[in-house]
Structure 1
Amino acid sequence: MAVQLDARPPVVPAHRTPRQSRQHRLSRFDTKYSPYLYIAPFFLLFGVFGLYPLIYTFWVSLHDWDLLGTNPAFIGLDNYTALMGDPDFWHAVVNTLGIFVISTVPQLLLALWLANLLNRQLRARTTWRMAVLIPNVTSTAAVAIVFAVLFGREFGMINWLLDHVGIEAISWKANRFASWVAISTMVDWRWTGYNALIFLAAMQAIPRDLYESASIDGASRSRQFWSITVPLLKPTIVFAVIISTIGGLQLFTEPRLFNSGTNAIRGGPLRESQTVTMYMFENAFAPNYNFGYGSAVAWLLFALIAVVAAINVLLLRRLGGGALKEDA
């Protein structure tokens, strides 16, 4: 059997001119390396203003370093060892965790309920959605000053209302747990609307067909919320929990301005509401001016935030099951 051969001559690639070769090399370079050049400014700025200060702060924490940095003495891990036995530091840690728990849990639950309410067919929905963000854009100093007056011992409105229901006046600034409640109320007022808008944006991405099918099957709104909305919001809930953890463990302005006078940075005369960031400021700046010790406090605060955030994510994964593991 005869095999028919292709009589066409082979295709010989045309010879590239020097200009074409240069353009080809530039095209390959652009395709391969230009994405890295586009993102390089971010990493450059992050390295200069983020990573370098972080590493340098750890280096400072290994020294006995005063305000001016004159003749810093290398002492290794002595600052960290001293912190482990510092009762004031652990007192600040307990205050921070207490305020964090009291403020974050109600805040996220209230934000979830508020987002579900705003997701319904309400009149003037845009106005209501903008209104919940007003506390967040209000000056933190103004909010703290107003709440400090509201929770005043003698002339505060909260004690005035409690007096009308037969409850004695509470020393909100002098009592440890009461100061936690007052500061947590302030934090919740500021950040609930912000988290509600995050949840609302995620709710609007849920297909409406799921709710229509559930309504046809006779599911109530409450059943739809717990069986459809909450499971599909798990990745957003994880994000909100992590962000709230980072912010809640770094509280400074609210407790600092809530306590006025010479003991403001101490959170009261007996450190009733002093957080870790306030304790860090007290040591790094006035009145101690010990940058090394303050830097050690900052690094332990970083470790505390990482541990608490990891615990929160693990708990949510366990409560959420396998679906949350895949989403996270």
Structure 2
Amino acid sequence: MAVLTPQRSAPDAGAAGREPRRLGFSQRLGRWDVKLSPYLYISPFFILFAVTGLFPLAYTAYVSVHDWSLLGGQGDFVGLTNFSDVLAQPTFWKSLGNTLSIFVLSSVPQVLVAITIAALLDQNLRAATFWRMGVLVPYVVAPVAVSMIFGRLFADQYGLINSILTLIGMDPIAWHGDRLASHLAIATMVNYRWTGYNALIFLAAMQAVPRELYEAAVIDGAGRIRQFFSVTVPQIRATIIFVVITSTIGGLQIFDEVRMFDVYGLGGPDQNWMTTVVYLYDLAWGDQHSLGRASAVAWLLFLLIILIGLINFLVTRRISTSDAAPKTTRKSSTRGNA
């Protein structure tokens, strides 16, 4: 008995030779909209960044390799001469040391106090909104006003701080004469203005921590301090790193507080508190009127910030790697037991 197998019909010659249908203009416009719309939505940021960020950076590099005077304008191409001249000046190295000293005295206490204030504001307080907005008031005040107020507080002869020290039997401090004392005074201004701002950033991160973790810690018998170090700090590690990096960038660019600390605004007669940005200002608009050297200082400061940023990145990567290693070991041991 023969079995009949179905035969496949031959393909339609007309269908095979039919040309593909052309898309209309509205369909092509819809495809372009899907492909190009995301880039158009984010383009304003990149355009603004290119105009206000990349172009000044590139133009500053162009000025730094020319003998560019404030009064005479662009001069001859000098290559890296401006950089070598700046590195040969002792004032540059002294300003760099002052910048790093003020940065350490301001950023480290600032982060510690900010995270402590954020932990207190994260508790069940009465009028919590009032206290949370209150810590932001110093950030709203203009930097010039803050510098003028603290300049009077830290005045050498009639300042409030020295009056209190004299009242309790201590010797007055030469805030404008001693190098370390001037750094402490300027760091106090910076901490007053930025501590509350960073505290709100930490507070936002703490409120995003799951409350179930705190409930489990309470069941395990952990107190408030143990909860802070075992639950809060590990959960907001990324925010801590962000605040440290932003504080580093801002701390290396201190200008307003130093500029308003005395009448002349150039870091004192011996440049005891002259920062690198103030030194840059003096090169461009001071006695030298050299925009080329000032641009060289700007690029050296930019490279220093990049270097410190890379160090922070490597430290962050090392911390994340060390945290991931025990988890991997724990998973492998669990699989082996299974």
Q: When the two structures are superposed, what TM-score results if normalisation uses the length of structure 1?
A: 0.91
* Contact 1:317–1:324 (CA under 8 A) maintained in structure 2: no
Q: CA RMSD in A?
A: 2.4
Q: CA deviation at 1:316?
A: 4.5
Which letter maps to 1:251?
I
Residue matched to 1:52: 55
Shift of 1:138: 0.4
Q: Which moved more, 1:68-77 or 1:212-221?
A: 68-77
> Structure 1 regions of 5+ residues with no counterpart?
none
CA contact (8 A) 2:66 2:74 kept: no
Residue 108 of structure 1: aligned partner: 111
Partner of 1:194 in structure 2?
A: 197
Matched AA of 2:45 = F
- Residue in 2 that maps onto 1:298: 298
Overall identity of the aligned pairs, in %: 49
Sort the Cα spacing of 1:257 and 1:87 in 2 relative to 1 into closer, same or farther, 3 A: same
**Structure 1 residues 16 and 195, CA, compared in 2 at 3 Å: closer, same or farther?**
same
> Is this contact kept in 2: 1:283–1:293, CA < 8 A?
yes
- Is 1:278 aligned to 2:281, yes or no? no
Aligned to 1:226: 229
Do the aligned partners of 1:234 and 1:324 also contact (CA within 8 Å) in 2?
A: no
Give 2:166's aligned amino acid: D
Secondary structure, in 3 states, of the residue corresponding to 1:43? helix
Query: After superposition, where does 1:247-326 map in structure 2 within 5 Å?
Result: 247-260=250-263, 262=264, 264=265, 266-318=266-318, 322-323=322-323
Instruction: Name the aligned partner's letter for residue 81 of structure 1.
Output: S
Task: State the match for 1:86 in structure 2.
Answer: 89
Partner of 1:237: 240
Matched pairs, number? 321
Identify the residue that residue 154 of structure 1 maps to in structure 2.
157
33-42 or 271-280, which deviates more: 33-42
**Distance between the aligned counterparts of 2:198 and 2:324, measured in 1?**
20
Work out whether residues 101 and 183 of structure 2, in 8 Å CA contact, stay in contact via their aligned partners in 1.
Answer: yes
Judge conservation of contact 2:92–2:279 (CA < 8 Å) in 1.
Answer: yes
Q: Which has the larger radius of gyration?
A: 2
Distance in 1, matches of 2:321 and 2:159, equals: 46
- Distance in 2, matches of 1:126 and 1:98, equals 35
Amino acid at match of 1:155: Y
- Spell out, residue by residue over 1:57-102, the C-alpha distance to the aligned partner (whole angstroms, 9 max, x if none): 1010001111145351111000111122110000000000000000
TM-score normalised to structure 2 length: 0.88
Matched, 1:137 2:140: yes
Partner deviation per Cα, 1:97-131 (whole Å, 9 max, x = no partner): 00000000000000000000000001111000000
SS for the counterpart of 1:154 is: coil
- Mark the runs of 5 or more structure 2 residues left unpaired by the alignment: 326-338
Alpha carbons of 1:107 and 1:2: their partners in 2 closer, same or farther (altered >3 Å)? farther
Cα-to-partner distance string for 1:269-295 (whole Å, 9 max, x where unaligned): 000100000000000112321000000
Please tell me whether residue 26 in structure 1 is matched to residue 29 in structure 2: yes
